[in-house]
Structure 1
């Protein structure tokens, strides 16, 4: 897919994906992808599932995270793992940014 090893963030546009939610792809190859996702307070990352493994780091803000039938409030420095096909989502309680890492690459984002 790509042989790039350096990604200039000025070349990747922020994309609105839901009301109050924007994302920017920061780097990827066939095996892995990193994406920044900014949320305004009250914005929702709707519950969904996908065949990718996802690791998410809370860079800033506070998020109520749904993982299957469990819910937990996560703050700056916390993280979660969404295994393939597990329903997950977030509600932003305090504006912030999530750093999502997917394996393999989310081709649907490209």
Structure 2
């Protein structure tokens, strides 16, 4: 099956725009096609990714900082170098305990993130 290319090939951090989500969170889309999407999410301490669910499978890498991560009924404190996996349609959220960056990968891509 052929997928349609919907993203640039290269993203350079200093020339890729950040979208302000709220006073604590910014989002930077860094690559996608119809099957996968990668997004950097920058948090200030106290930022909350409120509990939500979506049909996409999500894998997230903690690139910087420290986060309380809630997936379903489970809660864990994760730091730089840790990761987490969120199955489709499972309630999840995060709270930023130290300024940080999460790298989210979604499959399929988050059409709702594309304007």
- The gaps in structure 1 that reach 5 residues or longer are none
The residue correspondences of 1:70-85 to structure 2 (distance < 5 A) are 70-85=74-89
Superposed CA offset, 1:21-80 (max 9, x none): 000000001100000000000110000000000000000000000001111000000000
Is residue 62 of structure 2 the alignment partner of residue 55 of structure 1? no
Work out the CA distance in 2 between the residues paired with 1:16 and 1:69: 29
Kindly tell me: are residues 5 and 14 of structure 1, through their superposed partners in 2, closer, same or farther at Cα, counting changes over 3 Å?
closer
Deviation at 1:11, TM superposition (A): 5.3
Work out the CA distance in 1 between the residues paired with 2:10 and 2:30: 6
Per the alignment, residue 65 of structure 1 pairs with 69
Count of aligned pairs between the two proteins:
110
Pairing partner for 1:106 from 100, 103, 110? 110
| More strand as a share of residues | 1
Runs (4+) off by over 6 Å: none
TM score, norm. by length of structure 2: 0.89
Q: Which of 12-21 and 62-71 deviates more?
A: 12-21
TM score, norm. by length of structure 1: 0.93
Q: Which of 16-25 and 54-63 deviates more?
A: 16-25
Work out the CA distance in 1 between the residues paired with 2:70 and 2:112: 22
What RMSD in Å do the two structures reach over aligned CA positions? 1.5
Q: Does the aligned pair in 1 maintain the 2:6–2:32 contact within 8 Å?
A: no
Kindly tell me: are residues 3 and 20 of structure 1, through their superposed partners in 2, closer, same or farther at Cα, counting changes over 3 Å?
closer
Kindly tell me: are residues 88 and 3 of structure 1, through their superposed partners in 2, closer, same or farther at Cα, counting changes over 3 Å?
closer
